[in-house]
Amino acid sequence: MTTPNTAAPSNAGTGETGWSLKTGRDRTGFFTFTTLVCRTRVFCTCRRTSKLSPVCSWTQTPSQRTGRLLYKVMRSLRMVSTWRTAPVRAAPTGLRSGSCAWTALYFWRTDWRGSNSPACPGLTTERDSSITLILSRRARATFQLPIATWVRDLESVCLSGTETSTNLHQKLYYHVLGTPQSQDVLCAEFPDQPKWMSGAEVSDDGRYVLLSIREGCDPVNRLWYCDLNDVPQGITGLLPWVKLIDNFDAEYEYVTNEGTVFTFKTNLDAPQYRLINVDFAQPSISQWKELIPQHDKDVIVFATCTYSKFLFVCFLHDVKNVLKMFHLSSGEEIRTFPLDVGSIVGFTGRKKDSEIFYSFTSFLSPAIIYHCDLTKEPLQPHVFREVTVKGFSPADYQTTQVFYPSKDGTQIPMFIVHKKGIELDGSHPAFLYGYGGFNISITPSYSVSRLIFVRHLGGVLAVANIRGGGEYGETWHKAGMLANKQNCFTDFQCAAEYLIKEGYTSPNKITINGGSNGGLLVAACVNQRPDLFGCAVAQVGVMDMLKFHKFTIGHAWTTDFGCSEIKEQFDWLIKYSPLHNIHVPEADGVQYPAILLLTGDHDDRVVPLHSLKYIATLQNVIGQLPGQSNPLFIYVDTKSGHGAGKPTSKVIQEVADTYAFIARCLNLSWIE
């Protein structure tokens, strides 16, 4: 099954509508991989080799505006492996190599006949950097449509990318398009706070620049702003930031503003989040007003303003997205948009737009894009585009959500997908996925490889929404972090026990899988309950919990994990650190399950030393035991990183090898 990935369309600012389409092709030479369609016109990102994967999206600035850039950098450039373009009334199109967090921008002018010429000098930044387009009528660089990105020789700029040094001292720069990068202006830095990380965005009216500052991965941030009217001569140095919020007590996310009255999504006194109004002219907390209160149970995922007067708010209700519409002025609810069990994975509609598009996905549906014209009453969304898979009938499968008890009695939600009519006799192989960390919610998503496991290997897919994620807000997150991290592992093990008890599978037929923090989850559970699983696949996992904070961006994870340099936190980390808890099973006849670790040699998020040390220790401690017949393997991908941005060929190769490993270890047969 091959599935084109179509994103929700957005208005191009010229009266036309465009959408992005990932074709799934992966060829050498100048061939399209990602296509932008605008009526009958097509933008393509191209490349010479199959080693780099383009990622393409499209936004368009109003025709009367021009562009200027704020971007943040860390340290000095040593490798470029993440490619993004920043638009000036054009498409922000990116190319990633591996998923290392280095950034380069190139601007090219093209006409509809396909001729190309450089529009202005490019930019390069360091690891964990990003670009923010600041729109303003006063910008000093003007470009005419159309502009596209064209990179002639990607190989020549991809260097080593295997550094493990700590990422510190992020800075924010101002760049005028058409000028050399050497003339960029430093407008924010934090020399006394080397671990601070920031992101800038512009208000809907183009007047204010908002700076969100974080120190770790907790959902908290400082919020500073600059009124661009206070710099009438342009940005020539450090901006005069007003420190609206200068602590890390809560999270504030910009939604929109009407003059000096700003609407923010916040978890201040609201673990499920709420919307508040803050008047910059009267910024005292006592003057803040609640616009939409937090729900008793549901979590606000995002909020956006469209058609100048409406707020569209996405909620998470028992791990299923719900889309509601409110009045911006009063916060009064207008209506709920109907959705099946699944996730909203794309929403477009700016404040001045009179229409919205949103993309819906589920375990059995790749994408359904809905469109709604906000000028027509009654409001009625209709299907704009639906992606279907040839030869696949969703009606043949069943998705069920269950709630099972963890060891302490907490009810944990879990989705189970399988063919209709299966017998619950314990004979089916199961693929159990989990994450459980960093306030990240694992909502329903479409996966070709997992459906192949269900369809052709007779499997059962289970996704456990364990504590540590954001499925029920900050309370759920805190129940699985720091000293409570063991709850994540216990919840996951109880998920496997539930599947066994209900007859879906048996211990020797369960494969557990997770990546990054989920890789930690898999390895910790294998150490604690080797008898419960038949196979374990841990992707780019955090395995050394005593030293993770010493490499690249690891210091930011201490908000979720803790730090071994603090004795109290060392005491809980040493109890579950995968690297330090490998042991010979005590019970007779028990061995470690078949284990496959996956990592990339250029992963600068979770550096590969984690997986390398874990597999080496595994093989040293239990690899030669007479009773250990299950294989202990590692898959090291070259010129690859933390996962995102891989070309289709590499994705297919890795997925095929992974499921072949599972099938071989569990003695599964292909079913047509």
Catalytic annotation, residues: 516, 603, 642
Contacts of 402 (CB under 8 A, 6+ apart): 413, 414, 416, 498
Exposed e or buried b per residue across 572-586, where buried means at least 16 C-beta atoms within 10 angstroms of its C-beta: bbeebbbbbbbeebe
At residue 21, what is the residue type?
A: L
Cα 121 from Cα 181, distance rounded (Å): 8
Beta-ladder partners of 413: 403
Tokens describing residue 381: 């969304």
Residue 596 to residue 592: CA distance in whole angstroms: 12
The number of residues in the chain equals 672
Asked if 127 and 74 touch (Cβ cutoff 8 Å), the reply is yes
Containing 463, the helix (H) or strand (E) segment is strand 460-464
Question: In whole angstroms, what is the distance from residue 2 CA to residue 24 CA?
Answer: 7
Beta bridge pairs of residue 311: 305, 326
Q: How far apart are the first and last CA of the chain?
A: 13
Determine which helix (DSSP H) or strand (DSSP E) holds 488, and give its type and residue range: helix 486-501
Evaluate whether 516 touches 538 at the Cβ level (below 8 Å): no
Whether residue 173 contacts residue 181, with contact meaning beta carbons closer than 8 Å, is answered with: no
643-644-649 Cα angle (round to 5): 80
Six-digit token string for 640: 């690859």
Kindly state the tokens that stand for 408: 């302490």
Residue 657 corresponds to which amino acid? D
SS3 473: coil
